[in-house]
Amino acid sequence: MKRYINMDDISDGKLYTGESIVKAGCHGCEGCHLCCTGMGQSIILQPLDIHRLSAGLHKTFEELVGTYIELRMADGLILPNLIMQPENDSCSFLDTYGRCKIHPFRPTFCRLFPLGIYYDDDGLHYFLQTKECPVPSKTKVRVRQWLEEDNMAAYEAYTLRWHDFLEDCRTLLDSLNDENRRLLCTYILKFFYMTPYGNDFYTIFNERIQKVSLVLDAFRQEA
C-alpha cells in the first residue's frame, strides 16, 4: 500500500542495503506475535507471496480466497491481503502458541518486519522501523540473512519491477473510464496472481512483465 510518511518519525533515519548490518533480531520472537495482531487489511500480498503460499499450502489461488486471503481495493487496484481472525484481529496462520505456521513461506511484509522498503531514484533500500517491535535488546543481523532470500539480486530486481509496474498502473488508471479501469484491474489480478508460475517464479514473472507492457500501451491508446 502506498504511504506518505516522514522517515524520521518511524525509523533511525538510515537506509540500508542487503549487505548492511541492522539491529532487527528479536530472539526468534518467542511467541510474542504482537506484530501479527491488529494488522487489519494492511498485509497486501505480492505475486511472489501468492506463489509461495500456494506451493506451501498446496492450494490454488481460488482455494486460498475466502479462507486465508481476501480481495479488496488498494490504491485503485484489486489486490489480495491476508485475512485476520475476526475475534481478535490476529493472523489466521498463528498456532495456539502464537507461532507462525507458515514461517518458511511467510509473505514479504512479514519476512521484512521490522524492516521496510524505501524506493527512490536509485532503486530500493531498506529501513528499520524503530517503533513497531517492542522486543528490547535486539540483536544485529545482516539484512539478506534476515529476509532469508536465496537469490537477493533476483528478489530485489523483482521487487523493484513490481513496484514500478504498480506505479505505472495507478498513473494509467487516473486516465481511464470506469469500464477500462475494471478491465485493467481484472487483467492484473488474473495475469499476475491467479495464473500459476511453475518452478521458476522470477523467470516467468519477468516474461509476464514484458508482455503486459503491450497491454498497458493498448489501454493508453484508449485513454
Does some domain include residue 140? yes
Name the one residue in this structure whose C-alpha cell is 491481503.
81
- DSSP string computed for 130-198: SSS---SSPEEEEHHHHHT-S-HHHHHHHHHHHHHHHHHHHHHHTTS-HHHHHHHHHHHHIIIIIS--T
Identify whether the C-beta of residue 26 lies closer than 8 Å to the C-beta of residue 66.
no
> What pLDDT is recorded for position 5?
64
Q: What is the mean pLDDT of residues 137-156?
A: 92
> What pLDDT is recorded for position 124?
96
Report which of 213, 197, 173 is spatially closest to residue 48, judged by C-alpha positions: 197
- Owning domain of residue 187: 7-222
> What pLDDT is recorded for position 68?
94
User: What's the CA gap between 124 and 104, in Å, rounded?
Assistant: 24
User: What's the CA gap between 178 and 163, in Å, rounded?
Assistant: 23
Which of 21-35, 49-63, 157-171, 195-209 has the weakest average pLDDT?
Answer: 21-35
Instruction: Label residue 59 by pLDDT band (50, 70, 90).
Output: very high
Does some domain include residue 15? yes
Choice between 89 and 9, residue whose per-residue pLDDT is larger = 89
> What pLDDT is recorded for position 98?
84
Q: What is the mean pLDDT of residues 73-82?
A: 94
Does some domain include residue 192? yes
Give the Cβ contact number of residue 45 at 10 Å: 21
Percent of the chain with pLDDT over 70: 94
Which of 3-12, 35-44, 95-104, 139-148 has the weakest average pLDDT?
Answer: 3-12
> What pLDDT is recorded for position 4?
57
Q: What is the mean pLDDT of residues 74-90?
A: 90
Structurally, how many domains does the chain consist of? 1
> What pLDDT is recorded for position 223?
72
The secondary structure element, H or E, covering residue 65 is none
Does some domain include residue 1? no
Cis peptide before 114 (omega within 30 of 0): yes
Mean pLDDT for all residues in the chain: 90
